[in-house]
Amino acid sequence: MAQSLNIISEDRLNTFSNELTDELKNILSYWLNYTVDEVNGGFWGKIDNDNQVTAYAAKGSVLNARILWSFSVAYNQNPQGDYLRAAGRAYDYIKTCFVDNEFGGVYWSVDYKGGKLDTKKQVYANAFVIYALSEYYIASKLETVKEEAIGLYQLLVAKSYDQDKTGYFEAFTYDWQPLGDLRLSAKDANEKKTMNTHLHVLEAYTNLYRIWPDGGLKAQIETLINNFFDHFIDAVTGHLVLFFDEDWNRRSDTVSYGHDIEATWLLLEAAEVIGNNEMIAKINNVCIAIAEATMQGLDADGGLWYEYEPVEDHLIEEKHWWVQAEAIVGFYNAWQVSGNEKYLQVALNNWAFVKDKILDKQNGEWFWGIKADGSIMPGEDKAGLWKCPYHNSRACIEIIKRIKTLK
């Protein structure tokens, strides 16, 4: 990689690493102290900004998979017993409440007591379970966990992979039949193939390959990377296209700045893990093009805006927590690839913005986001179906790891 310590002082990077090391501890401490459901098992399904629990809230498979991953990877970096116990708690809850022992895969959500609620098989959620199981295997060394991750991968290929046109279909009924409403959330388009799901299937398969370097899995990863080259990355704008129909016809113009910058480093990571040098070289160039396009969404305060609608020329003037976390890693990665100090400065500026506006210094964790006037977005979760210890803990871990490799 092209980064150089001659450009930026080692002291500055050490400060960056030390601050993120402290912040990682803060994030994990929050989830240990406030989110464990000692009444019904597992973790609470919803907590607000004042740390008030909604006791009867649904519990999501994405939330629980991300908790499992976060504490597993934290343990693998810093083997503390509390981290492994939290990961084990999440694993047990997923196995007991979310896994469909008849048809395979995991349900989207359960009720507060762990009973079936939304039984659809969202490929996105199942991918996150593969991602988490792969990391938990490294932490736990349990062969059954590795086997479960492999089995779930094989199920997704069998049930959701488009053998004719490539790509993964978005969602199915509990028994893997066609489903009318495919959306991850109410804001999404109801289309059969989405960038977001493919990005996290790629991330899951990459993590699985680390523990199971199978030839068929490698081929799937390469096909997914090519899906980004061929469909998701708009070569003209440098942004990602979010929605397609089953024939890869484009169904969206929305620009998602967070997904743009997140894809840059996840694509490169995937190519590096499978050791495909040709793809690595190609992605290095694409990374910079996408990073440049993403910079259109930067505000003067260092924060990255949420989304832009080009048809209406309408900027969604919100700065969400996860978008900032991805900006920190993605722009740091752009500096590593290019050696251009401006990208490192963007990452440092974004972290300064997070410290100033996104960290909840009173109640812990990160706010969901802020509005254009700098006020906290009201009514959003501190923990919930989507608000998880994943984007922010992952950003901390990635930067800590990357700075360590420079020494």
Tokens 């259109």 — which residue? Answer: 296
| Bridging pattern class, strands 307-309 and 255-256 | antiparallel
Give 400's pLDDT tier (boundaries 50, 70, 90): very high
Question: DSSP letter string over 179-227?
Answer: -S---SSTTS---SEEHHHHHHHHHHHHHHHHH---HHHHHHHHHHHHH
Domain boundaries, given as residue ranges, for the chain: 10-405
* Angle (deg, nearest 10), helices 61-77 and 123-140: 30
d(CA 276, CA 377): 42
d(CA 21, CA 398): 11
Please write the tens of the pLDDT for every residue from 84-126: 999 999 999 999 999 999 999 999 999 999 999 999 999 999 9
Q: Smallest Cα–Cα separation from 69: which of 154, 122, 139? A: 139
Give 350's pLDDT tier (boundaries 50, 70, 90): very high
SS3 assignment, position 108? coil
Positive or negative, the CA dihedral 338, 339, 340, 342 is positive
Contacts of 286 (CB under 8 A, 6+ apart): 229, 233, 264, 267
Give 29's pLDDT tier (boundaries 50, 70, 90): very high
d(CA 198, CA 180): 20
Whether residue 400 contacts residue 24, with contact meaning beta carbons closer than 8 Å, is answered with: yes
Looking at the predicted structure, is the pLDDT value of residue 325 above 60? yes
CATH topology of domain 10-405: Glycosyltransferase (1.50.10)
> How confident is the model over 130-159, as a mean pLDDT?
98
d(CA 144, CA 42): 21
